[in-house]
Each structure stands twice: as structure tokens, then as C-alpha cells.
Chain A
Amino acid sequence: MSDVILELKNLQKWFPVRRNMTQVLKGERNWVKAVDGISLKINRGEIFGLIGESGCGKTTTGKLIMKLLEPTAGQMIFKGKDVTYLDKEALSEHKRNVQMIFQDPYASMNPRFKAREVLTEPLLIHDIGGSRTARGEMAAKALEEVKLTPPEEFLDRYAHMLSGGQRQRIATARTLILSPSFIVADEPVSMIDLSTRAEILQMMKDVQKDLGLTYLYITHDLSTARYFTDRIAVMYLGKIVEMGSVDEVVDNTKHPYTKALISAVCEPVSGKVNKMKEIPIKGEIPSAADIPPGCRFHPRCIYAESECWEKEEPELEEVEAGHLVACRRYKEIT
């Protein structure tokens, strides 16, 4: 039984919406509820996927975990300690332990920095290494870890002199150099060519095994998630609707939204050209400033009944071993 490295309890992040004069005078306040109370547990050494479409709150969750944003409510427990609100020193330590790989490998590195400077910057910030030589050695080691060898070849290059895959390796090396325990990867391969994607993912998996890391893998691409992750949580409009091992969630889907997502995914197989895709979903995603009452998915759900919008929002419940769903009617839908 592996222990839990990160636990989120009803984590919330609401952004205030700009008000006009009448609203200010009336005392009304509107919120964009980007993350509206999510709870999950991530075990040490696993790859946990956070799936959802744009606007569902997955990137915001990642930033909350990184402490680039402060939560509006809820709790975050990392390695057994409550890290919801941290003072400067504890924050610094937290940021050493939790690192991020960004989506755009080119934009995430200062274009005026050589690879060497990109890699040694975390060391300088946290005052590790002591001398230029020592830091250079640590940078070289990090490059070896991500299989960019020989390191000397790459240390003096700028970002625009490297391919997308190489840049993402350097970004990964940068996260590793502080020996973190937890890495948040936000769509790390979506901007990389298909033929290189697998290579980068393989590298990330190798690194994980070597160093015993835990990943939070944020993506909208279910197919890649299937390949890469161990467990996933599907988010919709700021809440988790389904959570479990990736095989369970994909093969034994319970939530209507997850069903819709899965049916919408394209597969590279023949014979589908002349068929229309059946997507069991209605309408459009509502704004996060205007969340529907009851089950927030009900306006788009083809199985919705009156209880879905009259009663209060369904909680995430464990319906099978390790498989959680937030839906009242999951049993009745196929």
C-alpha cells in the first residue's frame, strides 16, 4: 500500500469578475469558479492524469498545487503536512519539492538564456551548488538523466537552436535538477511532433522510475493519457466527475460526461469514414461564472432527470474498488 503524497480536500479557486457600477452599488459579486471543490489523493510514485476540456479547471488545479495561485478555500496536504497557506520559507521549500513542465517548450525558457543558464537558475535561486563548476556538473548530470548526451553539446545552446523534443527534455531536466518529489506536467507533449511524442513520454517514464517521482499529468488528450497514466480524474467545470484507474475509467465508464468524451475521441482505424460520430452530449459548455444548479452537467446530459437539477450536486462516491463517480444515475446508463 503506497502512501499518499498529495491530498486535495475540497480545494477551491474562485476568481472575482469585474463588476459594473450598478453591481457594485447593489453589492452583488460574481465569481468565475475555476476550481469548485475538488478532492483527490495521489499516491507516491504513480502517474495521475487530470483530464478535461479547456476551461474545466485542470490547469488552475496544477497552478494551485504549484502554489502559483492561492486557494480560495479547501485544503492541500503534501507529504503529510498542510501546505494550504505557507510562509515565505516554507513556500520556498515547497517549490523545491514540486516542479512543473509547461506546455510550450519554447516559451517556457527565457530565449536569452543558454541551456546551462536555464538549468542552473533553480540552483542559484535556492542557493545550491556553491560554485559555478559544481552547478555546471549538476546541470550536466540532469541532461544525462533526460538522455541529452553528450551534455557539453547542449549546455551552450539557446532554445531556438534546439528541436521541440530537445527543448522539452531541457525543460524536464530543469525540473529534475532540484531533486523534487512531485512534478506537474501541463500538456507536455501537445506541441511536439507525433513521432517524437512517444520518445518524450518514454523519457519521462524512465526518469520517473529512476528517481521515484510522482507525476500529475494534465491533458485533454485521452489517448495519450491512456498510454501514460496509472489513474485519472476527469474534470468538468471545476469539479471531478469521475476518478479511477485509467483502464477502469476508459473501459468501464460510469459518468455520462466521460462517456461523451470517450465517444468523441478519434481513433486511427479504418471503417469510420462514412459513419457519423455519436456523441451523447447536448449544447455547449456554460461559463464558469454561471454554474448550473444541481448537477452542473445536467443541461448537457442526455440522461438527466428532474432529480439531477432539483437535488443538490452529487458527491464523488466510490462505486467500485478504486473507481469513483459523481452521478446519481450512473447505474441506469449504459
Chain B
Amino acid sequence: MHASAELAGPSRRTRPRDSAASWPLADRIGLGLCWAAGVTLTLLATAIVLYMGVKGISQLHLSYLFQHPTADVDQSKSGGFLDPIEGTLLLTAIGTAIAVPIGTGVALWLVEYGRPAPLARTVESAVEIIAGAPSIVIAVFGLVVFSQPAFAFLSFRATGADAAFGRSFVIAGAAMSLLALPLVVGAVREALLQVPNHLREASLALGKTVGATIRRVLLPAVRPGIATGTALGMGRIIGDTAIVILLLGNTLGTESADGGLPGFRLLRGTGSTLTSYIYGNSPAGEGGAPEKAYAAAFVLLALVIALNVLATRLARGNLSALTGGAAWTR
């Protein structure tokens, strides 16, 4: 049937659909407030991004990305922030390397086995507690534990003291992994719950064990979920400052510890990240170098935004990949 020529549609309307012009005053004020709030929020976000962008670009010299920082009061000689960038990358690598396998494993256990039930609930609660704990508290956890002399191999032992220094890349990285862990567990769990049951049943019906099913069927199916969780976790790690300040030793440059294997020396060493560098250069830290702080903040913000866009893309891809993939089997 074709549309009749006399169909006039909305143009005939003399009163548009529920226009606010007819509402009582109180309702119109309410609508106005809604608009004001929405517009304010958008302006706020735009202002933050624009301000950081403009300030950052005006202060950023490309050379900063490749120069080592020096502790010089004269800003033109204080170098760039290569070491903080190194620190950020290293911590993120350590944190995700620990969090992703463990998080995926825990999520798998929770969804595919989860027996006995009280144990599963307790594990879930523990992950919830970690998810809700502020990063400063996790940093304190790390400090309390790793200050014990038993853990001196992870940092170094201050001469004459009965405590380990308690701060190093590997310690900070381990603490960071706790930040990322709940995000990975959550994302992988979501992905697992979306895998249709008939895939599992088909594998089991062929005589495979649950373990093999996990390896061959489920892990490939939840790869997008693992990727989403990883991106989310990385975003959180990169943006965190409290753990860095408490657990990384706050040296401007990356400094390896003495003794031991070469690679391990770096892990046991101290350093800084973009976030602690920004904090240190602001009036709250030693102060004095807001220009460098803006430049570093620009790089940091760009990184975090890029990761978040990636995470959103992956999450959306998650959905279509799973439903699209399963559709042909119905």
C-alpha cells in the first residue's frame, strides 16, 4: 500500500506534541532547570578538555617526551618527562600482567564452577570490597605488607633499619593490579554470562571436560570481554596517583636498585609516573613548575581518553560479536 497523497502529517498540527508552552509555571521551571543542568554539564566537560588542551599544547614541546627530567629550579634546564612516561608504562604493564590472568581465572571459576556456593559469594564480596576501597587505602595495604623485612627482596633494605624500604616498581605494580582486578573480573564475568549455554552443552556433549571447554570454547569467546576489562583497568592504573606517591619512592628519575639480576634491579627500583610528576610540579608538591605540569597533564589526559574510547569500542564490539556469532547457530 502506498501513502495516500492527502496525507499531510505533522504540518497540519497547530499544537505540537505536548509542548511546554501549555504547562503550569512550576513544570516549565522544572524543564528549564533540566536544560540548564544538561547544558552546564556539557559546557563543563568542554571547558575542561579545551583548557587542558590549550594550556597543554602551549606548554608542550615534543622534546619533553624524550628528555630526562632533572631537578633544576630553572625550568628551561629541567628537562622533559621521559622518566615519568617510562614509569607510567612500566607500572601499567606490571599491573595488567598480574591483574588480567588472575582476574580472568577468578571470573571463570565464579561463573563456570562456583562451588561451594558460600565460598563463591565470599570471593565475590571480597572482590566487591576491593572495588570499593579507595586507592589510598590499597596503597596503605601495600606499604604495611611490604615494609615487613621478609619482603626486602622486593625493594631494598635501608641500612640499619629492621624494615624494608617498601617502595618499588614491583610493589607499586602489585598494588595497581588490585585496582584493575575488579574491573577485569567484572568485564569477563559479563562476557561469560552472555555466552549462550548451548555452546557449553555442545562441548560437554562431545565428552570434553569443563576445563577443556574453558580452554577451547569459552576463552576465545570472551576475548573481547578480557580486552574491555584490560582497557578499563589500564585507564584506572594510568590515572591513579595515590599508590604512586606512597609506593614508588618518589624519585624524579627512574633509579634501579643495586645488586641482583639486571632486569630485577629495575623492578626493585624507584621512580615516578606522569601523575606523580604532575602532583610534584604543582603547588601541592615542590611546586614551581606549573608549565611542565600542564604539559604532562595534556599527555596524561590524551592517554586516558584514548584508552576509554578504546574500552567503549571494545565493549560495544563485545555485544555484536557474541550475538552475531551465535545467531547462525539458532
Chain A partners chain B: no
